[in-house]
Structures are given as C-alpha cells and as structure tokens.
Amino acid sequence: MTKWRRALPVAFTAVLYAVAPVLCTPASAQSEDPALFGGVALFDAAGVPVRSGDNLASWAAYAVPAEVFPDKGRPTILSAAQADPTKPAADWPVTKLAELAADTSASEDLPGPLAAISYGVVPVGTADLAGLVQEGQIDVQLRLSYNSTGTAYWATDLLVDAATGHWEQAEAPAQPATVSLSEPTLELTTDGAAVTLRSTVNALDGGARPTGWVELFDGDTDRGLARYDPVTGEIVATDAPTAGEHQYRFVLTAVAPLHYAPASSAATSCMCGKAIRNATPTTVTVSAVPAAGNLAFGLVAITATVLPLGVAGTVNFTTGGQPLASVPVAGGLARFETNALGVGAHTISATFSPTDGDSVDGSTASSTAFTLVEPPAGMSAPTPADPSTSSGHPAMPSDHPAVSIQAAARASAEVPAGQLTLATPYSPQRPLELGRLALDDSGAKLVAIAHLGTVASAARDGITVTDTRASDPGWSASLMASDFGSGTDTISARNAGLVDVRAVPVPGLGGGDLGTARRPIKVHDIAPAPLVVGVDGTATDGLANQPKIFATAKSGRGTVYIIGDLLLNAPVTALSGNYAATLTFTVS
C-alpha cells in the first residue's frame, strides 16, 4: 500500500454533466456541493470494475454514473477538476478529458456487462492523469456531465501519486441505499416453450435509479443478462426452459456498489418449458449399380446405407420426385432392384424415416445419378416392368447372425446364325434366386445353391437347347457370370460354379433321342474357385473371366433340356447385402 504524502490541498474532479442542478442527492453523495448528483464507477477495457492502478497513462477505459435521473440527459463529457478550498466547487478549474459523440450508441461495442447499460457510459479514451499532476500526491476529482458548464455532474475523488504512478478511488465508504425489484410477471408462448419475464426497479425516494445491469436467475442458475432501462426501471428477459418447474428472479448489480447494494426480486414459479428432444442423428447414403451394359429397362440394383447401425425404419426411394420403392432397413441397409427405368439420365434419392421418430432423427441422402442407353443393334431390349405393379423387390430379412446375402441371377442367350437356339426361363422379371447364403457344415464358408430345374421340372426350369440344322454339326453350350455386386461390395464370379449338370431327353420332338445313350450329351461341371486352395478344392476361376463349357453334342440335332445347380461360395467375412449378377449362356 502506498504511503500518501499530502501536499497542498489540490483536487481534480472527474465530472459527468446532466441538464440542470438537482437537489435530490443519494445518501452516498457528498452533499456539500449542490451541483453534485452522485458517484462515478470506473471500468477497464474488458468491462471489469477498477478502483486503483499503477499506470497514469492507462488507468481506466470507461466512466459510468452511479445513478440515473429520469429528467436528465445522459452524460457525455469526462472532466477533471482541481480543488480550490477558497472557492465553491462550481468555480474549480476544470480540464475536459474526453467527450462522447452525441450520436454514438450508449452500448456500441461495449465489453462484458457494460453492453447491457443503456445510460451514460463514457469512454475515457487517451486521457492521461500524468498530464494533470506535476509532482507529489494530489487529489483529482473526476466529473461526468451532460455539458461543459459544470452546473450538474456526477463525481468521484482519485488520489494520484505522480512519483509512483499509483492512483486509487478515494470515495468514503457509504451505507448502500436499497432499491426494490417487483416480482416478475410471466408471459408464455402458445406451446409453453418460451417465457418472457418482466419486472421493475423501484426508484429510491421516487428519484434516481442505479445504473447497472440485471441478470435473470432460474433458482441458482444464471440465465443471462436482461434488458434494463434505468430511466423507466423496466426489466425484460426471455428464456427457453426445459419442461418442468422453474423459479425465476431478477438480480440487479449497480455499477457503484458503495452507493447501491445488490437487489433481488422475489421468485416467480413457472411450470413451463418444452421437453428436450435428445434424438439420435442419422445419415443415409444411396448408390445405384446398373447391370452390365447400362441398358434401358435392364436391372438396376439400388442400395441405401443408414447409420448408425441398428436404427429401425424405412427408406423411401424416388426418382424425379416419383416413388420407386419403400424398403425396410435391415442391418443398416435397404436394397431393391428395378427394371422400370428407360433410356436417359436418372437420379435416385433416398429418405430414411425412423420407426421411433421421438428418439431417432430421419435423414435424406445426397442423390446418385446414372444413365441408361438403348441396346446395341441386333440385341433385343430387356422387357420393362409393368408400371401397374411394384418396380422393385426389397431385400429379405437376415437369417444369419452376421451375414445376410441374397443373390439374384438373370439369364440371356447369344444366338448365332442358323437354327441353333438356347433358352432359359429366367429374366429380370423372373431372376434365378439363390436365396440366403448359410454356413456350411465346416463353418468355414457361406454357401448358396439354386436349382436350374430337376428331371420333373426341366421343361419349366431348365436350359433348353434346340438344333434344327440339317447338317447336324454339333454344338457346345457355355456359361459365364459377372461378379455378384451389392453397391460397392462384390463377391467374385470365381466363387460361382455350375455343378451336377445333367441332360434330360425330350422324346417325341425331331431327333427326340438327343440326350439318350444313342445320341449322348457330354456334360461338364464348372467348379467354383476354392476359398482356400488345397483345402476345399483345386485352383480354378469358376464362372469368371471367360465362358466355360458345361455341355457338348457331336450330333446335336433335336431338343434337349439341361439341368444343374448354380453354386455360390462366399467367405464368412462377406458384408451383408442383396447381391446380383448376370449369367450369360452361349450355344455355338
């Protein structure tokens, strides 16, 4: 603590001037000066109250009058007065330190709680106390006033030591005056989600109200600054409470606590607010994979992925704003296939709708786009789906605890010149369903089998080869498959094969002994590639890469059915999905 040396009784007073002299002076003011309204509070650049310091060139950033008089204008001038005990205070020499422009907002760019003060905040600016002090210790009276006449002002005494640069506010301690705040009134929005609260600061003796800020409390929780007009005393605040009981009250903090003690209103109870909706956010992405060739009305596999895994709901797929399919989510995926899309560009969108809309949010995917084209010359176009029926079929739910894969195969035929033909009953409308893959007995892989007919159903479900060429040169039938795809996930066609191949004769048709011992058909199994070479088979590439022969005839005139089993193996690590591939049968 600096030891003050008192020299000549010199004082400077910082003044905030108002409109006219007023004789209504707070109890804390030094009433010997009839022009004195009350005290002055000082703040630093961060809006924090300061009462002392050690830098005369940067001692305070803002000066604020301690109280407000409704019939006076707000102060705009900061001055320093040098005390002269031989003269009245109104005649003391005054030096202007700073002035606030008349058109400057009272709360413009003010820091901290000062931004909530709508009356009389005057920036100190570059005012330097050192310029007022020659040597030793002196008393400086800071004054805030509304004009330069000095007829009415707010003031505070500073003790300044030029030798050390120390200063401190030297107001004598005063018994703080009390003010009262009325109990808040409530105004609720229609849904009860927001509340507006109002109160009033009651002026001391019907006169001045303290300058300061008002905070809204809910119990002991500070809900932020309220709007406080010290001229009218009005307090207004809004809050968005959670559902339940609330105890609201206002607390006033004066800028000059020596003059006014903190004041709190009574609490107002409110059963209001809106329940917090703590819903799980979701994301959905969509992909579309057309079959090989990107042909119009060809099969397109569409997949939506919904995260996080485990949320239940439905994905609605649309194209051009028109619905395509509505598919339940299983294992984070919603899949379907459609062949209802014609030539041109297509954009698929997916929207996830949760089953529990209260705890899970819905989401909309960014779209995926692709283009379908006309088939090449000489190639027949796929048959479009009947628009009166569903354009796709959703993936079936999982039976397997870790992997649920459903593969769909469709068949086409390449027919060279002449009367040699190959036909299958399978198409995009009637895919060859492999069903769900399941663990084999060893538990080392997943297996699915689809029967291409039996002896009894060969005419309906088998492969039909017909040769009416007179020269009877013979023929061979082969099969190749694309990889099985589900979005970006694949199962290699190497893992697919055609096994248990047999020829079933068709008696009664021309050359009806085709496929019998007299005119045999030589059949060949196409084994799938082993998942581990040497453990479950020898190296092969299954149905991948190039056509594999499964039946030959040296003398093939006539008609024969060929049946067999389409076999697909997959590793147990295969990702869940609805996988589809294209099978290409060729006879030549």
Range 538-547 average pLDDT: 77
528, 341, 359, 370: which is closest to 434 by C-alpha?
528
pLDDT at 419: 65
Provide CB contacts within 8 A for 380, sequence distance 6+.
Answer: none
Between CA 136 and CA 545 the distance in angstroms is 101
pLDDT at 149: 56
pLDDT bracket for residue 51 (50, 70, 90): confident
pLDDT at 190 over 80: no
Between CA 383 and CA 425 the distance in angstroms is 13
Between CA 550 and CA 556 the distance in angstroms is 14
pLDDT at 352 over 90: yes
Name the percent of the chain lying above pLDDT 90.
5
Q: What is the DSSP string of 30-78?
A: -TTSTTB---EEEE-TTS-B-SEES-SSSS-SEEEESEE-TTSPPP-EE
Neighbours of 323 (CB within 10 A): 10
pLDDT at 216: 93
Distance set, CA 384 to CA 295, 340, 342, 346 (Å): 11, 5, 8, 16
Q: Read off the DSSP letter of residue 25.
A: -
Give the tens place of pLDDT for each residue, 558-570. Answer: 888 888 988 888 8
The residue ranking higher by pLDDT, 287 or 84, is: 287
Go through the domains of the chain in sequence order and give each one's CATH number: 13-169 (no CATH), 180-272 (2.60.40.10), 279-395 (2.60.40.10), 399-588 (no CATH)
Q: Which of 244-248, 321-325, 402-406, 510-514 has the lowest mean pLDDT?
A: 402-406
Neighbours of 262 (CB within 10 A): 14
- Cβ atoms of 319 and 341 closer than 8 Å: yes
Range 61-85 average pLDDT: 76
Is the peptide bond prior to 382 cis by the omega test (within 30 degrees of 0)?
no
Between CA 372 and CA 252 the distance in angstroms is 71
- Residue that has been written with the tokens 């190639």 in this structure: 379
pLDDT bracket for residue 151 (50, 70, 90): low
Between CA 95 and CA 28 the distance in angstroms is 25
pLDDT at 396: 35
Give the tens place of pLDDT for each residue, 435-491. Answer: 787 877 777 788 888 888 888 777 778 888 888 777 778 888 888 888 888 888 888
Q: Which of 143-147, 343-347, 366-370 has the lowest mean pLDDT?
A: 143-147
Between CA 15 and CA 93 the distance in angstroms is 12
pLDDT at 381 over 80: no
Q: Which of 76-90, 105-119, 243-257, 403-417 has the lowest mean pLDDT?
A: 403-417
In the numeric block, which tokens belong to residue 273? 């607010």
pLDDT at 204: 66
Q: For 346-378, b where at least 16 C-beta lie within 10 A, e where not — what string?
A: bebbbbbebeeeeebebbebeebeeebeeeeee
pLDDT at 249 over 90: yes
pLDDT at 550: 92
Between CA 35 and CA 16 the distance in angstroms is 11
- Cβ atoms of 92 and 83 closer than 8 Å: yes
Q: For 41-51, b where at least 16 C-beta lie within 10 A, e where not — what string?
A: bbbbeebebbe
Ramachandran bin of 432, using left for φ above 0, alpha for ψ from -120 to 50, beta for the remaining angles = beta
Backbone angles phi and psi of 150, in degrees to 5: 75, 15
Between CA 242 and CA 260 the distance in angstroms is 34
